Amino acid sequence: MRGRKASAGLSRVQVLDRAEISRALERMAAEILERDPDPNQLYLVGVQKRGVPLAQRLAALVERASGRRPTVGALDITLYRDDVGPWRPAHQQPVLRATSLPEAIDEKTVCLVDDVLYTGRTVRAALDTLMDYGRPRAIRLAVLVDRGHRELPIAADFVGRTVPSARTEDVQVRLAETDDDEGVWLARETR
């Protein structure tokens, strides 16, 4: 599975395969429980769109380890982005997806879950979105991949894999729930 796949001026290097994603999530679930041992207080909130299946997987793993399934929610941060407006390519607004927080987040320990941590701007938007829903006891951040290049003072509490990358590269996360295969790739245009 591993190695370079060159096609149409694009080189892709796989950095995580399906089994490695599973192992990374298992370790992250254990770390989440170590930090906040009471799953009744824990609220896993996935950021649309690939954070949502990741939050569901982490919830299942937390349940397996503790016997109690934490609350799971989905958050769409589109309306809180800092790049909505006429400076985007013409007529292309980001697609709105569902936000669903089945229980109030007040006094809970919310763990935001996303696939890739990059500039930190999505997390900033997610924090602002969450604050409009209530006052959690604490907010943590879990990401499958941290690729660096932060533009805001934001850090993850739980990281699946740190992937050093160049800004010109593209980190591609594909999950069985949202895509037709699963893995993490580092892609770069070649000339």
Partner 1 sequence: MPVAPATGLRGKDLVGIDPLSAGEIQLLLDTAEQMREVAERPIKKVPALRGKTVVNLFFEPSTRTRFSFEVAEKRLSADSLNFAASASSVEKGETLIDTARNLEAMQPDFIVIRHRYAGAPHRLARILKASVINAGDGAHEHPTQALLDALTIRLHRGTLEGQVVAIFGDLQFSRVVRSNVLLLSRMGAKVRVGGPPSLVPPGIEQLGCEVYHRMEDAIAGADVVMMLRIQLERQSRVNFPTVREYYDFFALTPERLKLARKDCLVMHPGPMNRGVEIDSRVADGPQSVILEQVTNGVAVRMAVLYLLAGGQGEPASD
Interface residues toward partner 1, by CB under 8 A: 76, 78-81, 84-86, 88-93, 95-100, 128, 132-134
- Beta bridge partner(s), residue 143: 114, 159
Q: Is 16 helix (H, G, I), strand (E, B) or coil?
A: strand
Determine if the peptide bond prior to 5 is cis (ω within 30°).
no
Which of 98, 176 has the CB closer to partner 1? 98
Residue 25 vs 75, nearer CB to partner 1: 75
Tell me which H or E stretch contains 110: strand 109-117
What does DSSP say about strands 109-117 and 138-146: parallel, antiparallel, or unpaired?
parallel
What CA–CA distance (Å, rounded) separates 102 from 8? 44
Pick 78 or 172: Cβ nearer partner 1:
78
- Closest contact distance (angstroms) between CB of 136 and partner 1 is 13
**In the bound complex, what is the minimum distance in angstroms from residue 177's beta carbon to partner 1?**
19
Task: Tell me how far, at minimum, the Cβ of 89 lies from partner 1, in Å.
Answer: 7
Q: Which is nearer to partner 1, 106 or 177 (CB)?
A: 106
